[in-house]
């Protein structure tokens, strides 16, 4: 049994996840997942709020090797975040980047349930307003 938390994947979906030691460092995961992230590393970089200038620099320094580009991006982010680069932060970013399968394939987490977020706005009237309306508009027998 691990720790459960929710990840808002996008405006339409929230996922409940269970993880063991989510606050432990994610650095040791970097080399394991870089290959599986592949060409989607730029999407993950954006989820980490890495700017386009840094992305271009990574591409220039590792021309032709997507795995090396991804590994450098993960290393750069880990260096910037220090202790706050946790497994939980990595898993959240993977889910938000559409890379859920990477987190699941490497057994970083277990998905407990998935929720579809409702976009409907409630048009219900407050109960107190309804009672006041009924008192004003009801005749006593």
Query: Which residues on adjacent β-strands are paired with residue 86?
Result: 25
Q: What is the pTM of this model?
A: 0.78
State residue 9's pLDDT score.
Answer: 87
Q: How far apart are CA 99 and CA 134, in angstroms?
A: 53
**DSSP 3-state percent helix, strand, coil across the chain (nearest 5):** 55, 15, 30
Domain ranges of the chain: 3-136
Q: What is the DSSP string of 109-140?
A: -EEEEEEEPP-PPP-PPPHHHHHHHHHHH---
**Maximum average pLDDT range among 20-24, 51-55, 60-64, 134-138:** 51-55
Residue 99 clears pLDDT 90, i.e. is over it:
yes
Q: What is the mean pLDDT of residues 88-94?
A: 95
- Which is more confidently placed, 22 or 131? 22
Residue 127 clears pLDDT 70, i.e. is over it:
no
CATH number of 3-136: 1.10.533.10
């Amino acid at each position: 049994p691990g720790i459960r938390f929710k990840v808002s994947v996008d405006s339409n979906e929230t996922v409940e996840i269970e993880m063991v030691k989510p606050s432990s460092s994610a650095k040791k995961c970097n080399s394991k997942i870089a290959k599986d992230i592949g060409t989607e590393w730029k999407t993950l970089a954006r989820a980490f709020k890495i700017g386009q200038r840094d992305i271009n620099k990574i591409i220039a320094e590792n021309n032709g090797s997507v795995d090396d580009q991804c590994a450098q991006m993960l290393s750069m982010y880990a260096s910037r975040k220090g202790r706050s680069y946790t497994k939980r932060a990595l898993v959240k970013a993977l889910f938000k980047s559409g890379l859920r399968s990477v987190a699941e394939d490497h057994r970083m987490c277990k998905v407990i349930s998935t929720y579809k977020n409702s976009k409907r706005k409630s048009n219900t009237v407050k109960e107190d307003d309804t009672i006041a309306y009924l008192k004003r508009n009801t005749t006593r027998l």
